[in-house]
Structure 1
Amino acid sequence: MTNTGIPATKRNTDDTAADDVKTIGSKPADIHRPRTPIPFQRLLAVETRKLFDTRSSKIMTVILITLVLASIIGRGVVSGPELHTLVGTAGIGFGTLLPVLGILTVTSEWSHRTALTTFALEPRRWRVLAAKCLPPLITAVAASLSAILVAVPVTAVVAGVQDVPATWEVAPLALLGWTGTNVLVVAMGLAMGMLLLNAPAAIVICLSTPMLWSVVGRLGTAGEVLTEWFDLNTTAVPLMDGDMTSGDVARLVVSMIFWIVIPMGIGAVRVIRKEVN
């Protein structure tokens, strides 16, 4: 038997230390070295794909496109070739379905129980939340531009079929305000979804809010004041018209803080601290 002259304890320590370093090709790699963080662009691409490749999102997208096309064409046949009117008609579908798309974006991880995998791959949850919020907001802008592109040929076709002159006058500020309103509607859906982490409850709140505020507005002077300052649908009307005063800006900011900033802030804290099981 050969005696190496190295104590058993020393050999065991060296073997343990050697196990901590593995060789990949010809370069040693420390398995305890912190892994490279996931690039934000990759997170954004993944969350964008999630926004459209789930069954519920596909159904919502098809319904949204169909509703917008049908509303623009139907309004053109009934009201005539007025570009401003046809573009605004698309807001009916946007105001109903775009916030739902935002809600599903932030609640699907919890309803499908995939949050554990997502946050295990990226423990910094605030980065995941940022990547989730950007695609719906960008989608709102893209949907608004698409509605404008659809309304232009529909206006021309209706004018030709009905043999009447088309009305093309559209205020650029009104188009920007209308697009901004669609973005605010999606942001409200994101905020409610993050706050409640429950898709049905958030959808009910977002869709029933206009009806509830219409009731509040009929409760006398106090109800009218509350509606003027806290109803996002009411405060966004001057923004859509492209004619805002300083008072209109103040009321819009107050309603945004009430419906978007506060719920989203509380919801973000809740998501970051929530136990995942």
Structure 2
Amino acid sequence: MTTVETSRVTAPRLPARLPAPDDRAVPFTRLVHVELRKTLDTRAGRWLLIGITAVTAIVVGIVIFTGSADAHKDLSDFLTATVIPQSILLPLLGIITVTSEWTQRTGLVTFALEPDRTRVGRSKLASAALLGLLVLATAVLLAVVATGLCEVLRGGHPTWSLDALTIGGVVLAQLLAVVQGVAFGLVLQNTPAAIVSYLVLPQAWTIVGDLVHGLHGVQPWLDLNSATSPLVDASMTAENWAQLGVAGLVWVVLPLIAGVVRLRRSDVK
């Protein structure tokens, strides 16, 4: 009689319960860091920042070597001069921060790693605002250096004081410009279209408001450029604040809301 021995095959032991999936959201600070890297690591974003700094330096240099040594050469004057190019160029930074998801075709990866598109939009807004503040800090540094150079090279006697209203007004004006760029980028999701719309539409309204006599009373309430001018000059009145609120609602808040809605609903190809 032959005894057949059967060998036992040991099966791998499975856990009694699978670990729960990690449903923790990506930290918001990490999202902001990623958006900053996206802007700074691309040639368009990097050269735009360099261009903003270079244009600001050129404008400051022109102010130093034109006119008399003591005419409009104070620190506040140089700070105001830096706001002029930045108020035009900073919104472009906000635009490319948003539209890069569609022009560079990275949206599919971004929204797969972070499905909550509203958080992605907030992180883009935060990164654009941080970059705007960084550029503004560079502009303040250039203004300080320019004031010293004017005193040394031109023999002027500039005033170095800056009041809190001027600084706060400049910061608020520049942040509004950056947020406006983000809003236009979210609405159009295309870099050339967003840039052209941002440059043309507000200026077209300004021209129409100046030419059409019946719009003279409405034009200051819907012109964001003229509404932010008293901010930089630290000459805001109650009426100026009301005009800034209405113009900001039309050109910044409403486009931003529409852009967030489109961001949540648009298909990523």
What interval of TM-score do these two structures reach, taking the shorter chain for normalisation?
0.7 to 0.9
Per-residue CA shift, 1:143-181, capped at 9, x if unaligned? 222212221121112122122222334333122101210
C-alpha displacement of 1:210: 4.7
Match status 1:53 vs 2:16: no
Q: 2:59 aligns with which of 71, 80, 101?
A: 71
* Equivalent residue letter for 1:46: V
Q: Is the 8 A contact 1:136 1:186 kept in 2?
A: yes
Equivalences for residues 9-158 of structure 1 within 5 A: 18=14, 30=18, 33-79=21-67, 80=69, 81-158=73-150
* Aligned counterpart for 1:190 among listed residues 159, 182, 186: 182
Q: Percent identity?
A: 33
> Which ranges of structure 2 fall in alignment gaps of 5 or more residues?
none
**Residue number in structure 2 paired with 1:7:** none
AA in 2 matched with 1:42: R
Residues 83 and 118 of structure 1: is their aligned pair in 2 closer, same or farther, counting only changes over 3 Å? same
Aligned residues: 259
Per-residue CA shift, 1:215-253, capped at 9, x if unaligned? 123234432223201111011122222122221111111
The answer to whether the Cα contact below 8 Å between 1:228 and 1:251 also exists between their aligned partners in 2 is yes
Runs of at least 4 residues off by over 3 Å: none
Secondary structure at the aligned position of 1:253 is classed as helix
1:273/1:83 CA distance change after superposition, 3 Å: same
1:229 and 2:244 matched: no
Separation in 2, partners of 1:36, 1:167: 53
Q: Residue in 2 aligned with 1:202?
A: 194
Q: C-alpha distance in 1, partners of 2:165/2:137?
A: 14
Q: Which has the higher contact order (CA 8 A, sep 6+)?
A: 2
- Aligned residue identity for 2:50: V
> Cα distance, 1:207 vs. partner?
1.6
Task: Report the alpha carbon displacement of residue 205 of structure 1 after superposing the two structures with TM.
Answer: 1.7
RMSD across aligned positions (CA): 2.4
2:244 alignment partner, one of 228, 247, 252? 252
Deviations along 1:6-32, one digit per CA (max 9) or x if unpaired, are xxxxxxxx99x95xx5xxxxxx87366
2:156 aligns with 164
Go from structure 1 to structure 2 and tell me whether the alpha carbon gap of 1:214 and 1:275 turns closer, same or farther (over 3 Å shift). Answer: closer
Q: In structure 2, how many angstroms separate the alpha carbons of the residues matched to 1:226 and 1:192? A: 23
Give the letter aligned to residue 207 of structure 2: V
- Gaps (5+ residues) in structure 1? 4-13, 22-27
Task: Quote the Cα distance in structure 2 between the aligned partners of 1:98 and 1:139.
Answer: 9
Q: In 2, Cα distance between the equivalents of 1:147 and 1:187? A: 19
